[in-house]
Chain A
């Protein structure tokens, strides 16, 4: 193998191949994160509700998702959905839905721990003021649970950023796909994959660093 040749990295390459993939990866991460936290919180509340008809479905869902490799969920959903809705769903849409559905299982475990980390007395104080159960959760318990768990939620998001590259399985055009395509077209696959790895590293490292900063700041506030 010859020396690395990075001369094909030009602005045109960025706009022509990489930007679209980068934007999709970010988009997928953001949707899967916000949707995952939202639905994850709902699942966590169901599991903590103490009502069997809510606890069992939620627990079953979470445990199932957590025991299947993500790449299989991505594939199955993509392959099965045409049979269910009668027409294929684009790889991008399919990825967005799959990731949200998968990640919410993981975020729900984090939110469950977060809710349990808020002292019972807080909910009692909310109720004692006349707030309903829903208001107590929304205004008193969840904000504190969220704040307590922010570093862990972000850590899960770092995993999510890396996992988004698995959409290669269904051919969605993400960050990795952008580099791969460029590498193929310019016949420089090694350089392209190296550059992709570097970019994933930079993104995740920056996120980890902010998690660390956040940790110390939250520790100070408490």
Chain B
């Protein structure tokens, strides 16, 4: 469903992504890990065209992301994205956060959008918070709203960029629980995270990045069983100790 082939990207003369190749099948969960600065965010942002790339290709359900003439807003509306810092719209209520793009992008009627919003808030356990503003919610609640906001667009796949790394430890699980449920329901997911418990539980494959390169791309059992590269072993020993 998502095919990344030999993607390279430069910031000026600095090569952020180096010949990255991987794919995600429908219903698969791909976890991306690697040290800070290794290009994980950049790679995931290339998938929905938030960042351009200079070489290689990314195809999402038959649509080439980098091609001239691709309707990027339309493509993005079909790919849900969840950010490290939630990025809820602070000037809108929780419900308005959920309905805005449904109405403006998908052209749904406001009442229909609200119904959908309420259903999704219920799904992430926040139905009572619909009228509140993002600043009145805890970090964990905000991130769950952000997930609901992305799901409201009925995406064909979800992209997560370190969804729990800005959260206090006690709130991480409430967000991971929602993500695990989503994965079990068959959602196609690309998740940048260092939560290896989550990876073990639901990932089909794990890729490890370093210096803009995909160093390791393996089925989950293999990745944790016998990572082949020295760097992946070192990285895992570091993060698994915590």
Q: Which residues of A contact B (CB under 8 A)?
A: 119, 121-122, 124-132, 135, 139-140, 143-144, 147, 221-222
Contacts and interface: CB of A to CB of B under 8 A. Distances in A.
A124 B89 CA distance: 11
Contacts of A147: 91
A155 to B, nearest CB: 21
B100 A127 contact: no
A133 to B, nearest CB: 9
Contacts of B104: 131, 135, 139
B109 interface: no
Contact of A144 (B45, B77, B81, B90): B90
Q: Which of B76, B150, B153 has the most CB of A within 10 A?
A: B76
A130 B83 contact: no
A222 B135 contact: yes
Nearest to A133: B73
Given A121-B83, A125-B83, A139-B100, A130 B77 contact: yes
Rank and list the top 5 A-B pairs by shortest CB-CB distance, nearest first: A130-B77, A125-B87, A129-B101, A128-B81, A130-B105
Contact of B153 (A122, A127, A130, A135): A130
B48 interface: yes
Given A143-B91, A144-B90, A147-B91, A124 B50 contact: yes
A124 B105 CA distance: 15
If over half of A's interface residues share one DSSP class (helix, strand or loop), that class is named, otherwise mixed; here it is helix
A122 B87 contact: yes
A127 B76 contact: yes
B85 interface: yes
B100 A128 contact: no
Contacts of B77: 129-130
B171 to A, nearest CB: 19
Contacts of A122: 87, 89
Given A121-B83, A135-B104, A128 B48 contact: yes
A122 B85 CA distance: 10
A206 to B, nearest CB: 27
B116 interface: no
B77 to A, nearest CB: 3
A129 B76 CA distance: 6
B205 interface: no
Nearest to B149: A129
Contacts of A128: 48, 50, 76, 79, 81, 83, 150
B238 interface: no
B117 to A, nearest CB: 13
B91 A129 contact: no
Interface in B85-137: 85, 87-91, 100-101, 104-106, 135
Interface string B45-79: 10010100000000000000000000011111111
A125 B105 CA distance: 14
A140 B50 contact: no
A37 B205 CA distance: 52
8 contacts: A119-B87, A124-B87, A126-B89, A129-B101, A130-B101, A131-B105, A139-B100, A221-B135
A131 B87 contact: no
Given A130-B76, A130-B153, A121 B90 contact: no
A172 B87 CA distance: 50
A121 B153 contact: no
A132 B75 CA distance: 11
B37 to A, nearest CB: 18
A122 B105 CA distance: 17
